[in-house]
Amino acid sequence: MRKNLRTLLKEKEHLFGCFVQIPSPEIVEMARHFDYVIIDGEHGHITRSQLLTMIRAAEAVDLAVMVRIATIDPILINQILDMGVTSLLVPNVSSEEDAIALVTAAHYPPLGNRGACPFTRANYYGSDAPADYYKKTNEDLFIVATIEDTGGLADMEKIISLNGIDCIGTGQFDLSVSLGLSGQIDHPKVRDAAAKAENLAEQYGKIYTTMIMEPSDSQDILSKACRLIMCGSPEIQIQNYLRDTAREARNHLPI
């Protein structure tokens, strides 16, 4: 049985996940200590066939799968959901219109108009009756909208209040660029945007997601709405380990 975020959120107060940007099922398997994995289809160089292999690797170690898509494209969204993915992380949701287009593309009627085929991997190639499959798919689907520019900030309340948007977060790096504060993710304006998103999520009974750069940063999570926590990516740890190991080995050379 595939795990999905919506079910896990009923079982646990907080879920911890990590990004995977390298097309490697082995790294996905190593991430099994988390609750979920985010396969990065925006910044990662991952082909469609590689994505499916990574999804299978996650399922094999009981990880829920979220895919970060590159754009709000109905065909792309349908193809990824047809693979059996039930959670999408969507960047650059810049307006109420973007959010409506996203909800429409990802859901079957009555909430959306996603292209219907009951014989895909998502339905185990026709295992459930079409009507049952479409209903369950809508029930399991979990959509995260990411605010990354000034347009999204202006429409944030309309985005988070929309039926079909389950969770909201801010992309600190993109947002800092949009605000003319490139790279200053701790700037008050960037932090205020995150705080506004968190408050709105709580107000509308939705979920807020945040990224922590260090494990100890979880001690700063105080809001009841902040239940989906992203813990960076294994690639960062691999890079740091290789850098430090090479440096230390050279420093210990006796000649």
Q: Which residues are catalytic?
A: 43
Residue 55 CA to residue 69 CA, distance in Å, equals 14
R_g of the chain computed on alpha carbons: 19
Contact 72, 98 (CB under 8 A): yes
User: How many CB atoms are closer than 10 A to CB 73?
Assistant: 13
Helices 96-106, 74-82: crossing angle, 10 deg rounding: 40
Residue 231 CA to residue 229 CA, distance in Å, equals 6
Sign of CA dihedral 143, 66, 127, 1: negative
